[in-house]
């Protein structure tokens, strides 16, 4: 596995509250230069970024972020607005309170409502693993597997902790064939990313790897 192989799986991410257009534009440029899977940015910058990138890089954005407790109608509206502005991928946050109450039918219905709004566009479902028990994580794997969503995603990066390797191994063991896994929050370096990929991660939400690639220089086709 090479550095470039890893970068192709990265959603190059900037979601911090004080982010400016100049910073968003920089990560767009870096994403194109280093060949990442997408840029993942706040909804308010999607239109500007999509116009700036002009098809050179998919734009991903977040819905119900980071807490997930918006109503379904609000999340559907956010999704439609983001797609209209040029987003190609959507990362939604579930209602964690519903999970705590065992209301998985409501979680499933919400995921499917957003997938209906997404159509052929990719939908990733953030379950915020650090706030769930293992039993709840398994139930969410089953729920996402039963839904129309394309990915299950570990974390927002804005809660108590990010992705862990045991969580990714658990997801891999309980997700249905054809459903993918995105890891986010706390990916330290390329070696760490490689371990997540070997465990089953298909996407990596991070800004660190591109930053490390910029500092590294040299051959990105070298083995990690």
- Give the relative orientation of helices 46-53 and 72-85 as an angle to the nearest 10 degrees: 30
Q: How far apart are CA 87 and CA 47, in angstroms?
A: 8
Q: What is the pTM of this model?
A: 0.97
Q: pLDDT tens digit string along 190-202?
A: 999 999 999 999 9
- Asked if 118 and 150 count as a contact pair (C-beta separation under 8 A), the reply is no
Has 91 been annotated as catalytic?
A: yes
Any residues with CB less than 8 A from the CB of 213 and at least 6 apart, and which? 3, 7, 34, 220
- How confident is residue 186, by pLDDT bands cut at 50, 70 and 90? confident
Q: How far apart are CA 89 and CA 59, in angstroms?
A: 6
User: What is the average pLDDT across 191-215?
Assistant: 97
Q: How far apart are CA 209 and CA 10, in angstroms?
A: 8
Give strand pairing partners of 41. Answer: 61
Has 120 been annotated as catalytic?
A: no
Residue 218 has pLDDT above 90, yes or no: no
User: What is the average pLDDT across 25-51?
Assistant: 98
- Asked if 177 and 145 count as a contact pair (C-beta separation under 8 A), the reply is no
Helix residue spans in the chain (DSSP H): 3-7, 21-34, 46-53, 72-85, 96-100, 104-118, 134-146, 165-174, 190-199, 208-216
Tokens standing for residue 38: 């997408």
In the chain, count H helices and then E strands.
Answer: 10, 8
Give the percent of the chain with pLDDT over 70.
100
- The sign one gets for the Cα dihedral 11, 9, 109, 168 is negative
- From the list 9, 124, 153, 179, the catalytic residue is 153
Residue 217 has pLDDT above 90, yes or no: no
Of 116, 190, 108, 189, the residue nearest 152 (C-alpha): 108
Q: How far apart are CA 79 and CA 5, in angstroms?
A: 30
Q: pLDDT tens digit string along 127-140?
A: 999 999 999 999 99
pLDDT at 69: 98
Q: How far apart are CA 150 and CA 120, in angstroms?
A: 10
Say how many C-beta atoms besides its own lie within 10 A of residue 34's C-beta: 18
- From the list 11, 30, 85, 91, the catalytic residue is 91
- The whole-chain average pLDDT of the chain stands at 97
- From the list 9, 124, 182, 192, the catalytic residue is 182
Has 202 been annotated as catalytic?
A: no
């Amino acid at each position: 596995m090479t550095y470039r192989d890893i970068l192709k799986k990265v959603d190059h991410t900037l979601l911090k509250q004080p982010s400016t257009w100049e910073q968003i534009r920089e990560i767009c440029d870096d994403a194109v230069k280093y060949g990442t899977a997408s840029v993942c940015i706040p909804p308010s910058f999607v239109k500007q970024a999509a116009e700036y990138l002009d098809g050179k890089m998919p734009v991903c954005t977040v819905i119900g972020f980071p807490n997930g407790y918006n109503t379904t109608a609000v999340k559907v509206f956010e999704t439609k607005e983001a797609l209209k502005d040029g987003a190609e991928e959507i990362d939604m946050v579930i209602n964690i309170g519903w999970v705590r109450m065992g209301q998985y039918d409501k979680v499933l219905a919400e995921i499917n409502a957003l997938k209906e709004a997404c159509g052929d566009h990719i939908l990733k479902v953030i379950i915020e693993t650090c706030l769930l028990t293992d039993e709840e994580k398994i139930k969410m794997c089953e729920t996402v597997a039963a839904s129309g969503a394309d990915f299950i995603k570990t974390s927002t990066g804005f809660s108590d902790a990010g992705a862990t390797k045991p969580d990714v191994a658990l997801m891999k063991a309980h997700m249905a064939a054809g459903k993918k896994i995105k890891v986010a929050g706390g990916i330290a370096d390329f070696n760490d990313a490689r371990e997540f990929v070997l465990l089953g991660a298909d996407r990596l939400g991070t800004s660190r790897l591109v930053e490390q690639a910029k500092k590294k220089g040299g051959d990105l086709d070298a083995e990690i």
